[in-house]
Amino acid sequence: MANRNEGEEPSSRSITSQHSPIISSTIMRSIIHLNEPLRPDQQPITKPTLWQILHGYSITIPFFPSPWTSRDDLGGFGIFPTCNTLLSTYERRYGEVSCMAAGSDGLLYTGSCSKNIRVWKKGHPYGGFNDYEGPHYAILLGPEDHVFATSYDGRIRVWVKEATEETEQPLYKHISSLPIIKERLKEWFWRKKMRLERKFEQLYWHSFPTTCICLSEDKRYLYSGSTDHCMKIWRLEDWKFIEAKLEHKLGVSAVAAGCDCLVFSGSMDGSLIMWKRNEDRERKKPTHTRVQYLLTEESPVDALLLKSTDEAESGELYAGLWDGRVLVWKERSHWSSYEVLSFHQAAVTCLARSPGPLVFSGSADGRICAWRRESYSGHTLVTVIGAHQGPVNCIAAVEDWEENDEGPSRCILYSGGTDKRLKTWRIAECTVDPMQCGR
């Protein structure tokens, strides 16, 4: 997901020509500050040598925590209705929270412009680990305690959480990078030529920053999108590159997979494509074919969220656009028409769903909206939060870690914005009147 400068309006982000990839504001900010003195969390680290990688050796990466300040005294502002609660607020001294992923047991992983991936537990610091590169654009939690993260160099790095005592902070071991070293060596001699000829789909790795990642519903494949206009597919069984698709005219900003081998990719050119994964037993690698365009040359797509099919409900696809709308397609209507959720006054930058019926949308207007999925009547706005003093970069929702036998059902919501703050909320399903939110 693309990041924004503090206080920047969505209209100020210009779309480049069809023959050049988009460079996000976070990348430009990192280039501008190249000559500034390095902070403790940006100090260079020792990377493993080729011999160590080929022989399976791992090195200990020093972790330099970034300065954070607890700001619980700030409280929440603009919360409707008042049954919602702000649990904690932490503020970075440098940079902003650019991406996050929420796991079980109250764990939260956040990425920023530094090389650190911070770990939080129930809204408070709980350690972290150091990446080789920064800034981070997307974090994803996989099966068997795997953590995936993307950064500026176009690679996707994978860590696994090692077993520790319950009273100790978790330890994380770097186990792989996509593409793997063998594929990088194969590409070494002709990579420059392919980049000059702009044949990005023939390269093993992304030529520009990887901005989004997602897992297939069976957790066997990883999909990644980049500002090089490509969507690439990886097989997690052996960490190998499978296929690349170059259909978008501008950078791929969001990907989502599920609903019986379907894959969706959204782009800054305003297009949204549905793909179908085809697996043939005679072929070792699956193939992906384009099914249809759900959107063509609309407002740029900045976020996707897919609720996969289950026994009770059909699948639903949510798309957040730069014009402030959230579009919803339903599987039972064969993805032919969409519902429009309209409240935000600026670009919708991120989407998240709770374990219950709530879906959250974060926007560059600094607010987060909660929408409840109704059985047959669409969606109802239930909560509006004036979460940040600036655009909301990322959100994540999980089940409440405290039992609630009385009152409305609740969930935990995390949010990070350009105001350098990370906030933890407890959200209840209380219907709100949009008129009291200044709509």
pTM: 0.80
Greater pLDDT, 106 or 195? 106
Half-sphere exposure of 155 (CA within 13 A, CB side): 16
How many whole angstroms separate alpha carbon 234 and alpha carbon 8?
35
Q: How far does Cα 270 stand from its chain's mean position?
A: 19
The amino acid that residue 365 corresponds to is D
Q: Higher-confidence residue: 49 or 148?
A: 148
Q: How many CB atoms neighbour CB 47 within 10 A?
A: 11
* Cβ partners under 8 Å of residue 16, min gap 6: 22, 23, 250
193 pLDDT tier (thresholds 50, 70, 90): low
Whether the CB-CB separation of 387 and 372 falls below 8 Å is answered with no
Interval 33-51: pLDDT, tens? 334 444 454 455 555 555 4
Class of domain 19-42+50-71+97-351: mainly beta
What does the pLDDT read at residue 308?
76
Max mean pLDDT among 1-15, 72-86, 356-370 falls in 356-370
**pLDDT at residue 83 is higher than 70:** no
User: If you average pLDDT over residues 77-88, what whole number do you get?
Assistant: 66
pLDDT of residue 432: 53
The tens digit of pLDDT for each residue in 237-284 reads 988 888 889 899 999 999 999 988 999 999 999 999 999 999 877 667
- R_g over Cα of the chain: 21
The two tokens of residue 29 are 């900010």
Would you state the pLDDT for residue 260? 87
The answer, yes or no, to whether the previous bond of 62 is cis (omega within 30 of 0) is no
The number of CA neighbours under 13 Å toward the Cβ of 282 is 0
Question: What are the boundaries of each domain within the chain?
Answer: 19-42+50-71+97-351
